[in-house]
Structure 1
Amino acid sequence: MEISFVRIDDRLIHGQVATVWTKASGCNRIMACSDEVAADDLRKQLLIQVCPTGYKAYVLPIEKAIAAYKNPKFDSFKTLFLFTNPKDVLRMVEGGVDIKSVNVGGMCYKDGTTQITNALCVSEADIEAFKKLHEKGIELEIRKLAKDTRIDMMDKLKELKLI
């Protein structure tokens, strides 16, 4: 399986992903990876239904996504991987998925998070996961829209004195 793009966006498949990121990434499959979302039949079905025409979408728990990545039967897939948080990305990497770069697009505010951009709020656990991904040599870039200028996640966290 070829990884065409990896994005953290807690909305998973939505307008920007459907109209811009799919084209920009050159993918032919979209894989939303989340134990929580995969266990929610309604949310899972809604995500599959909003998949743009010409693409195939899957909503999988992390372990099944790792198994699919490693399965040669899916070698023709050029996959846009979507995640709701960096902890799940880290689980994929630790499970053997060869992720080289992560686009961090949107994580909404929740209790215990700190807003670092207009579309990005992080918790201490998120920051720890980002640090571990960075230590593994994975590029972490903040970019809400494909046309936006890339911002290095670690530089932003340092600038805000969060690391």
Structure 2
Amino acid sequence: MISMARVDDRLIHGQVAVKWCKELGVNRIIVASDSIAKNAVQVAALKGAAPAGVKAAILPIEKAQGIINDPRSESLRILVVSNDPSDFLALFKGIKERPVLNVANYGRINGPLSEKRKVTDTVYLTERDQEVVREISALGVEVVTQPLPDDSREDLIALLG
């Protein structure tokens, strides 16, 4: 079962590896990204960043869909992470579950900020990102922004207007 899905430029890092895993009782992290799954250096680094007792898998979208849809995954507490909302649009189109999608710490790293809309202090979206997030919401996914478990959860679609 997916406990939460998160778009985050940093993928597996302190906030995800420590705070969110503990808050959600996660025992698996899946990084769902075709491009990241092809990069052996990134795969090794991300697996090493997972906290003790939490298994990390860095998978292409189709393989992540297969694992999430596998009935054996129902007993797991999974956090799915990607650094691109488009990865989640593809993922959600191939899975039954509709977990909350948390977009936080996204958009400040890749590409010029002048081409992005500042939605919150930690979320900067291109026009395409905004379209993708709306498409994800149209699939029945609640899309929020909440950087840390102690932060208040905000409806990202409402913030986009």
TM-score (norm 1): 0.90
Counterpart of 1:69 in structure 2 is 68
Quick check: 2:4–2:99 contact (8 Å CA) kept in 1?
A: no
Counterpart of 1:161 in structure 2 is none
Where do 1:55-134 residues align within 5 Å? 55-109=54-108, 110-111=111-112, 112-134=115-137
Structure 2 residue matching 1:106: 3-state secondary structure: coil
Q: C-alpha displacement at 1:73, in angstroms?
A: 4.1
Aligned residues: CA RMSD:
1.4
> What residue identity is the alignment partner of 2:143?
L
**Partners of 1:37 and 1:66 in 2: how far apart?**
16
**Partners of 2:150 and 2:142 in 1: how far apart?**
18
The total of aligned residue pairs comes to 157
Aligned structure 1 segments of 4 or more residues deviating by more than 4 angstroms: none
Q: C-alpha displacement at 1:31, in angstroms?
A: 0.6
**Partners of 2:98 and 2:9 in 1: how far apart?**
19
- Provide the identity percentage: 34
Where do 1:12-51 residues align within 5 Å? 12-51=11-50
Q: C-alpha displacement at 1:20, in angstroms?
A: 0.5
**Partners of 2:64 and 2:79 in 1: how far apart?**
12
**Partners of 1:46 and 1:149 in 2: how far apart?**
30
Any stretches of 5+ residues in structure 1 without a counterpart? 159-163
**Partners of 1:12 and 1:140 in 2: how far apart?**
18
Counterpart of 2:147 in structure 1 is 144
Per-residue deviation, residues 11-30 of structure 1 (Å, max 9, x unmatched) = 11000111100011111101
Q: Which structure: greater strand fraction?
A: 1
Per-residue deviation, residues 24-83 of structure 1 (Å, max 9, x unmatched) = 111110111111111111011000001100110010011110011122344432211111
